[in-house]
Each structure stands twice: as structure tokens, then as C-alpha cells.
Amino acid sequence: GVSIVTENGLEAVRIDTELCTGLVYRNGAHVAEWTPKGSEPVLWMSGSSHFTDGTAIRGGIPLCFPWFGPGRDGDRTPAHGFARLSPWNLTSAELSPNGLVRLVFTLTGDDVADLGGFPADFEASYAVTMGTAMQLALTVRAGEQPLEVEEALHTYFAVGDARQVRIEGLDGADYLDKVAGDRRTQSGDVTFTAETDRVYFSEATTRIVDEQLGRTIVVEKACSANTVVWNPWVDKSEAMADFGDEEWTGMCCVETVNALGDATQLSPGASHTMSATISLT
Ligand code: BG6
């Protein structure tokens, strides 16, 4: 079933059905767990994460909105937007006869402590559907002013060893390499051999092939022009207080994103939905 619980001192929704188990914190509408029955957890969580209302959680699926990182001009705070720091409202929770659980969380300007200059009359809603697959759909509606929105489902996946996985689906895609500070073109599959922080200009489905865990994670996207691939490697994970020094080998981020030149432009009253469906093969 579906129950409201306190987990790590925070309000959360726990899901335990015939198809999967899951956990979603109200703070940030943050999906922290999705585990299909009979599988290992699909999402990675740091053992050093903070769990405090108004603070980002490390791992799972931080929801970045209405800007990504410092925003396209590089000057926005808080980093990755206010959505992951805000208390979302659970407006519906349904268990359907086919065993799927669908949660809907909403956020408006009234819920946000610091809008960082963003218009208050937006409405965001986030539908999380969990079963043997998981679907995530973020819908944003503009109020009376036009909106420019960056957004990311900043998904941390659990992997056997980041140095041995490969990500299929990005061959030939252009990307911004945020470590090197230049633009490049992907040749072949993506592998991790050093700190990796890239914004791919690609709507394609990606597959994280993990021979060690004997599984492939498939990320299918809709209305997402960018895929961000991130692994902090040694030095950057040591520098992050909420990320264990040895943990980076067990994770990689493959994120469903609209950012930079692909930020979503909404005219007054218009809405837009970005979504991702995650499954295992
Ligand atoms: C990634 C960014 O998506 O998120 C990185 O591309 C950033 O640059 C990382 O370091 C984590 O961000 P944060 O704010 O959660 O530490």
C-alpha cells in the first residue's frame, strides 16, 4: 500500500506493493527509492546525505527547477533552483487495480522561501508512477508573465562499478564538457575514466549497461532536449560534505534535462511537461 511515514526525520510517502517498494520525501518531492520486486535498488543514495527540511538530499532524484546549476547565465542561487529545497504538497495518491501507484506533488510560489527572482505565480506539478517501471512527469504552468524554465530529473543510479558501466544511446551527440570547458562530439558509448560532467544535446533513450549487476537501466525521455551525465570521481567527491569519499564508484547520474539554450520558454498561461520512464532489462 501507500503510507505517510517519517523517514530520517522527514515526512515521506512509503510505497510497498506487489510490484515494487519506493520512498518519496515531501522535501523536494524527492524520490529516494524505487526497487522493483526481486531487484536491487535502482537508485543510489549517499550514506552521508543530509536529511533536513530546506536542504538538498544527496542521491535519488533531486528535482532541479526553475534553473539548472547556476542557470544559463551562471549567476542564479540557490544552485539547481529552489524546487529541491521546498516542501511540495502531496495532492493525490492512488493505487490502481493493475498495481501501479501514482503520486502527484504540487508546488506554487507560496510554498517557496526564496524565489531568487522567479515569478511567484507559476504552478508546478510532479507525477511519480511506480510499478515494474517508474514514470516521472514534471509539468510547469506559467502565470501572468512569460517564463523561462530550466529543469532536471537529476537521477542518481546505483551501479556495480562506475568504471565498468557503459552508457549507450549518445554516440554522435554533441555535448558541453563542463570539466574541460568546451564543446565536443561523442564517439561510441560513454564510459567513466575521470571526473565527468557533460550536458548532451540529445533527446535519445539511454541505456546504462551494467555487467557487474547483470542489468541494464533504460531511460526513455519525452520533451527533454538534454541528457546530463555526471560522476564526481575522487577529488570532487572528497570535497562534498554530503558525499562519502569512497562512494563515487557505486553511482552515476544520467539526467533528464532542459537547460542552457534548450530552456523551456512558456508564454503566459502556457504549460509544458517533461518526462522520463525508467525500466530494467
Ligand atoms: C550535476 C552538475 O548535474 O550536479 C554538476 O552538472 C554538479 O556540476 C552536480 O556538481 C551536483 O550538484 P549539487 O548542487 O547537488 O552538488
The whole-model pTM stands at 0.98
Q: Which of 30, 80, 154, 220 is catalytic?
A: 154
Task: Give the pLDDT score at 123.
Answer: 98
Alpha-carbon span 42 to 23, nearest angstrom: 12
**150 classed as catalytic:** no
Average pLDDT, the chain: 98
Alpha-carbon span 278 to 249, nearest angstrom: 21
Q: Is the ipTM of this complex over 0.90?
A: yes
From 80, 228, 240, the mutation candidate for ligand 1 (largest count of ligand atoms within 8 A of CB) is 80
Nearest-CA neighbor of 128 among 84, 94, 175?
Answer: 94
pLDDT of the chain along its 281 residues, tens only? 999 999 999 999 999 999 999 999 999 999 999 999 999 999 999 999 999 999 999 999 999 999 999 999 999 999 999 999 999 999 999 999 999 999 999 999 999 999 999 999 999 999 999 999 999 999 999 999 999 999 999 999 999 999 999 999 999 999 999 999 999 999 999 999 999 999 999 999 999 999 999 999 999 999 999 999 999 999 999 999 999 999 999 999 999 999 999 999 999 999 999 999 999 99
From 44, 48, 197, 198, the mutation candidate for ligand 1 (largest count of ligand atoms within 8 A of CB) is 197
Torsion of CA 128, 129, 133, 139, to 10 degrees: -50
Task: Give the pLDDT score at 87.
Answer: 98
Task: Give the pLDDT score at 152.
Answer: 98
pLDDT digits (tens, 9 = 90+) for 146-187: 999 999 999 999 999 999 999 999 999 999 999 999 999 999
CA angle 191, 192, 196 (to 5 degrees): 115
